[in-house]
Amino acid sequence: MPVFNFNPLTLNKIKRFKSIRRGYYSFIIFTLLVLLSCAAEMLVNSRALVVAYQGQWYFPTYGDIIPGTQLGFEYEYETNYRVLKKRLQGSDSGFVLLPPIPYNPYETDLKNNQFPPFPPSFEDQHYLGTDTIGRDVAARLVYGFRTAIFFSLILLVVSYLIGVSIGAAMGYFGGLFDLLFQRIIEIWSNIPFLYVIMIVSSIMIPNFYTLIAIILVFGWIQMTWYMRTVTYKEKAREYVMAARALGASHKRVIFNHILPNTISIIVTFIPFSIANGIIALTSLDYLGFGLPAPTPSWGELLSQGSNNLESVWIVSSVIVAMTVILVMVTFIGEAIREAFDPKKHTTYE
């Protein structure tokens, strides 16, 4: 038995989506990147993947730190595995396997008589160089991506939940409820939301979730208009009337009957909302009103880069990364829109 029981129309859409090559491949690469970023600790980290030391095996990636004293150093803070690797090289008392990029996004790799930012160097394994205080740009890009994408996804889910529910209710119930919410939304959307965020985040220190909450306060609006319109349209159709006649509750009619028929609208907007979420977080970080330092973030890298144009590797890394991600998301969005285009097929005759 198949796990998913798609109806032929959905299968048709998926087929169309697959046939749009650049959207489909973007989707695969993008999904892969998101999945990989979940395992970023194993790819980009100062902690070793495997340490064999005096017959003992250690897997330091996750969990508690291993103090230097345990691995033959004199200090009590976390072992520096890069130093340990050098020390164990050529000896037979053990070995260290480091991730491909052996730096975490917080540590500052400073040198004597040389001053950051350091240019890209294969020897030091700073493949994209370091930022102005010696942190690895590649590490910060990867962890910054993870933050941005999950920020964006959570924001998307919550704001769509609110936006879709309110929008559908407005379209479905109409009348005073609709009128009231229309005015509320009009007033609400006239508040300059960027300023509000700036003011709020200058008074309190936003963290990941409070920042989502702040953006959410204004971010749910967009979906309501679209949902209101399509619900209005759907409500007048016979199947709604039939459901009502059978005694279905309002909730059931909205969520079980109308919503599936408007899903194409929602799905079409998703990729663009993801892009917007990334851009919102990045611009807030760029302006210094986003996540608190030293959280790795693209906006912070971008602002460092634009203040240090001489160190071109900072600004170019983050711009390339952003462009690639946003272009991919746009490709996916286009493909979805194409696949769900009601002109190609309709969900009812």
Q: Could you list the residues that contact another protein (CB under 8 A)?
A: 63-65, 67, 75-78, 106-108, 110-112, 115-116, 132-135, 202-203, 205, 288, 292-294, 306-310
Measured at the CA of 47, the angle between CA 46 and CA 51, to 5 degrees, comes to 135
Closest to another protein by CB, 260 vs 288, is: 288
Q: What is d(CA 147, CA 155) in angstroms, rounded to the nearest whole number?
A: 12
- Identity of the residue, 130 or 152, whose beta carbon is nearer to another protein in the bound complex: 130
Min separation Cβ 45 and another protein, Å: 15
- Cis geometry, peptide bond prior to residue 292 (ω within 30 degrees of 0): no
Instruction: Tell me the C-alpha distance between 120 and 175, whole Å.
Output: 62
Closest approach, Cβ 83 to another protein, in A, equals 13
Q: How far is the CB of 305 from another protein (least distance, A)?
A: 12
203 Cβ partners below 8 Å, 6+ apart?
none
> Is the Cβ–Cβ distance between 50 and 57 less than 8 Å?
yes
Question: Distance (Å, rounded) from C-alpha 180 to C-alpha 202?
Answer: 33
Environment class of 113 (CB within 10 Å of its CB; exposed 0-12, middle 13-18, buried 19+): exposed
Minimum distance of another protein from residue 238's CB (angstroms): 58
Direct distance between the N- and C-terminal alpha carbons of the chain, in angstroms, rounded to an integer: 30
Cβ closest to another protein, residue 100 vs residue 292: 292
Residue whose CB is less far from another protein, 15 or 111: 111
- Residue 184 near residue 267, CB atoms below 8 Å: no
Quote the least distance from Cβ 309 to another protein, whole Å.
Answer: 8
- By beta-carbon proximity to another protein, the closer residue of 108 and 121 is 108
The minimum distance between CB 92 and another protein, in angstroms, equals 29
Name the residue nearer to another protein (CB basis): 12 or 61. 61
- Shortest Å distance, C-beta 198 to another protein: 9
**How far apart are the C-alpha atoms of 44 and 280, rounded to whole Å?**
25
Round to whole Å and give the CA distance between 45 and 217. 35
If DSSP codes are grouped into helix, strand and coil, which group holds residue 331? Answer: helix
- What type of residue sits at position 233? K
Nearer to another protein, 140 or 257 (CB): 140
213 SS3 class: helix
